Amino acid sequence: MRNFDQKNNLILYSFRRCPYAIRSRMSLYKAGFIVELREIELKNKPEQMLEVSPKGTVPVLILPDGSVIDESLDIMEWALGKNDPDDWLNADKTEMKFLIERNDNKFKQALDRYKYPGRYPNEDCTGARTVCTEILNDLNKRLKKHQQILNNNIAMADIALFPFVRQCALVDIEWFNSLPMPHLQKWLQEHLESTTFKTIMLKFKTWSEGDKAIQLISNH
Ligand SMILES: N[C@@H](CCC(=O)N[C@@H](CS)C(=O)NCC(=O)O)C(=O)O
């Protein structure tokens, strides 16, 4: 790891296993940015983060001119809009939008209810895993036709969805591996083994003001 002039760096407030933060870190890494990574605790968010983004979700990206991007998809589009070496943005926009919206709404809602039914005491969460399974099955069908969800190349949609499919698989990996979805299982495994994912999942200690060490992600 190298040291960089902090003024010129991007700052990213992040939480290691948050799927929204994962998709953002993967895009920033792929685009080759140098990022000062500020690992936070969701239960103890730094004041500095809440000052720039009062809604209190990660990821939060601060650009060198001080502007703030605090939605994961906007961070992905910003980073890849600057540099997209593997053409992740080069895919059918309508399909991409459909897949990401379904993931971030229907799939995410069902995933939360499957993973954390205790958080929804007034709801019947028993069907949540089935809703997830239907969407996973659709992804598997698409992956039967080509190596990635939209075509043979990785696109933004693959990276946007992958951390959520990972989270769903990890709730009960034996169940996930027993699904008759070999194409989806292979796709997940390949993304888990990618250098991009492995690098952005390195563990960093929680950031606090005054920390000298800058924790960086970059593909340089
Ligand atoms: N729409 C936001 C959602 C981000 C989000 O909900 N992140 C979660 C962590 S995975 C969070 O920060 N939750 C706030 C909390 O738990 O206090 C995005 O895409 O960036």
Any domain includes 123: yes
The helix-helix angle for 128-145 and 156-171 (nearest 10°) equals: 140
Task: Mark whether 76 and 110 lie in a shared domain.
Answer: no
pLDDT in tens, 15-40: 999 999 999 999 999 999 889 999 99
67-98 burial string, b = 16+ CB within 10 Å, else e?
Answer: eebbbbbebbbbbbeeebeeebeebeeeebee
- Candidate from 57, 68, 111, 167 with most ligand 1 atoms within 8 A of CB, to mutate: 57
Task: Mark whether 61 and 103 lie in a shared domain.
Answer: no
Task: Mark whether 179 and 207 lie in a shared domain.
Answer: no
Task: Mark whether 152 and 109 lie in a shared domain.
Answer: yes
Tell me which amino acid residue 141 is: K
CA 144 to centroid of ligand 1, rounded, Å: 31
In whole angstroms, give the CA distance from residue 1 to residue 96: 34
| Ligand 1 atom 8: residue of nearest CA | 57
Task: Mark whether 14 and 54 lie in a shared domain.
Answer: yes
Any domain includes 56: yes
pLDDT at res. 1:
32
Ligand 1 within 6 A of CB of 71: yes
Number of structural domains (the chain) is 2
Task: Mark whether 69 and 119 lie in a shared domain.
Answer: no
pTM listed for this prediction: 0.95
Any domain includes 97: yes
Any domain includes 1: no
The CATH number linked to 37 is 3.40.30.10
CA 200 to centroid of ligand 1, rounded, Å: 18
The CATH number linked to 158 is 1.20.1050.10
Q: C-alpha angle with apex 17: 16 to 20, nearest 5 degrees?
A: 95
CB distance 199 to 28 below 8 Å:
no
Ligand 1 within 6 A of CB of 77: no
Determine if residue 139 is left, alpha or beta; phi over 0 gives left, psi from -120 to 50 gives alpha, anything else beta. alpha
In 93-207, where does DSSP find H-type helix? 93-102, 108-115, 128-145, 156-171, 173-178, 182-192, 195-200
In 1-107, where does DSSP find H-type helix? 19-31, 47-52, 72-82, 93-102
Task: Mark whether 178 and 212 lie in a shared domain.
Answer: no
Any domain includes 165: yes
CA 57 to centroid of ligand 1, rounded, Å: 4
Arithmetic mean of pLDDT over the chain: 93
Task: Mark whether 45 and 136 lie in a shared domain.
Answer: no
pLDDT in tens, 99-130: 999 999 999 999 999 999 999 999 999 999 99
| Ligand 1 atom 2: residue of nearest CA | 71
Ligand 1 within 6 A of CB of 56: yes
Give the structural domain span for 154: 93-194
In whole angstroms, give the CA distance from residue 81 to residue 88: 10
Q: Which residues of the chain have pLDDT under 50?
A: 1-7, 213
In whole angstroms, give the CA distance from residue 50 to residue 130: 37
Any domain includes 180: yes
Q: Which of 70, 18, 28 is nearest to 49 (CA)?
A: 70
